[in-house]
């Protein structure tokens, strides 16, 4: 059973987070938990500054450096991953099969979910390089909002 907690993160996700941290010798601190929960519940692919602002509401003493270091360690553990092309890394904790559309103008990141039963096929020549563990596909272009703004400026 995958029950939702009050913060929008499932009990299974939190348990998995704790298990992975402990397995790698990383203490499960309140700061790490809050930072992970913020990324895991967000559909906006937050950058470190957004995570910092959100976590500070409940933990006013958390530092931006702590957020950066924690996101980096969570990424190393495979609990979150980077998306987008901008200089400010955006993070996602949703490992369900999906892709991303990244706006090249504003940097916004949108989830793109394949239709049920639809899977991206890995070209056979990729096997020459090694075994694929996961696919991270990103589309880039102008989002609808930026297209609208661009038309206004013309």
Q: What is the pTM of this model?
A: 0.81
pLDDT in tens, 22-64: 999 999 999 999 999 999 999 999 999 999 999 999 999 999 9
Confidence of residue 86 (pLDDT cuts 50, 70, 90): low
CA distances from 143 to 34, 91, 97, 105, 124 (A): 30, 19, 22, 8, 32
Determine the Cα–Cα distance for residues 100 and 84; give it in Å rounded to an integer. 8
Cα-Cα end-to-end distance for the chain: 53
The model's pLDDT over 140-149, given as tens digits with 9 standing for 90+, comes to 999 999 999 8
Question: Which among 19, 5, 8 has a CA at the least distance from the CA of 79?
Answer: 19
CA distance 17 to 38: 13
């Amino acid at each position: 059973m995958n029950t939702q907690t009050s913060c929008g993160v499932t009990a299974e996700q939190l348990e998995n987070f704790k298990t992975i941290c402990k397995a790698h010798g990383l203490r499960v601190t309140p700061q790490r938990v809050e930072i992970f929960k913020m990324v895991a519940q967000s559909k906006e692919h937050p950058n470190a500054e957004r995570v910092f602002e959100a976590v500070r509401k409940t933990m006013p003493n958390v530092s931006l450096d702590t957020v950066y270091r924690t996101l980096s360690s969570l990424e190393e553990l495979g609990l979150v991953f980077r998306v987008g092309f901008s200089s400010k890394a955006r993070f996602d904790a949703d490992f369900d099969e999906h892709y991303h559309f990244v706006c090249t103008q504003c940097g916004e990141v949108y989830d793109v979910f394949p239709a049920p039963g639809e899977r991206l096929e890995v070209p056979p020549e990729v096997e020459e390089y090694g075994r694929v563990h996961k696919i991270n596909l990103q589309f880039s272009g102008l989002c609808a909002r930026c297209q609208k703004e661009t038309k206004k400026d013309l």
